[in-house]
């Protein structure tokens, strides 16, 4: 493979631009240029995508969700409440772990905190005492319903850096990537 095979080139509007590109805020472009200097024989294309996805995720997490923060909730806590609200029925902690892509231990900790705040209730299973069923309280449902419009407005404001067609294109590409990764990750780990 040649040093530029499979990679964008200078001046094509992609990540292979000049040094001013990093000063415009794309730190991944600077990292990629550094790796190309050290290992010009390697294709850094995957790093350009995964690095940017990871950097965007980190920045979004650092920004914290203002409406959630004002309500005293973390994003993972809101995700648990949201899963209970959108499914419309009781869920087990295992169901919640799957719905929120969280570990069982993390779900247990969050449920304890949300129960103490009176936002969720747990009840034991009549057939198996090891199983718990979780549901929103009226206060939990009211909180989710009050926060959701404000949270969506906040997320809309965050994404205003992209015009609507670009948002749609990005959403479609991320959906395709996610769908394919969800189908392949088990095989890649083996």
pLDDT of residue 49: 93
pLDDT of residue 16: 43
Q: Which DSSP string corresponds to 36-91? A: HHH-TTS--HHHHHHHHHHHHHHHHHHH--HHHHHTT--HHHHHHHHHHHHH-S-B
pTM equals 0.73
Q: Are 118 and 139 in contact (CB under 8 A)?
A: yes
pLDDT of residue 124: 85
Q: pLDDT tens, 47-74?
A: 999 999 999 988 887 776 788 888 999 9
Is a pLDDT exceeding 80 seen at residue 25?
no
Q: pLDDT tens, 132-143?
A: 899 999 999 999
Sign, CA torsion 24/28/34/40: negative
pLDDT of residue 185: 64
Percentage of the chain with pLDDT > 90? 60
In this structure, of 12-16, 29-33, 121-125, 127-131, the range with the lowest mean pLDDT score is: 12-16
Residue 146's SS3 state is: helix
> What tokens were used for 131?
């199983």
- Dist CA 157 CA 151 (whole Å): 10
């Amino acid at each position: 493979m040649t040093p530029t095979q499979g990679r964008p080139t200078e001046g094509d509007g992609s990540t292979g631009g000049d040094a001013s590109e990093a000063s415009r805020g794309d730190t991944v472009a600077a990292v990629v240029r550094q790796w190309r200097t050290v290992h010009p024989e390697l294709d850094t294309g995957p790093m350009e995508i995964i690095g940017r996805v990871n950097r965007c995720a980190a920045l979004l997490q650092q920004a914290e969700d203002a409406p959630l923060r004002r309500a005293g909730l973390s994003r993972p806590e809101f995700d648990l409440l949201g899963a209970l609200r959108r499914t419309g029925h009781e869920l087990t902690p295992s169901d919640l772990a799957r719905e929120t892509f969280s570990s069982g231990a993390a779900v247990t900790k969050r449920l304890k905190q949300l129960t103490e705040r009176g936002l969720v209730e747990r009840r034991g299973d009549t057939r198996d005492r090891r199983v718990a069923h979780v549901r929103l309280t009226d206060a939990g449902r009211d909180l989710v319903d009050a926060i959701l419009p404000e949270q969506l407005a906040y997320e809309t404001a965050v994404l205003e850096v992209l015009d609507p067609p670009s948002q749609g294109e990005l959403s479609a590409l991320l959906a395709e990537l996610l769908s394919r990764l969800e189908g392949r990750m088990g095989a890649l780990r083996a």
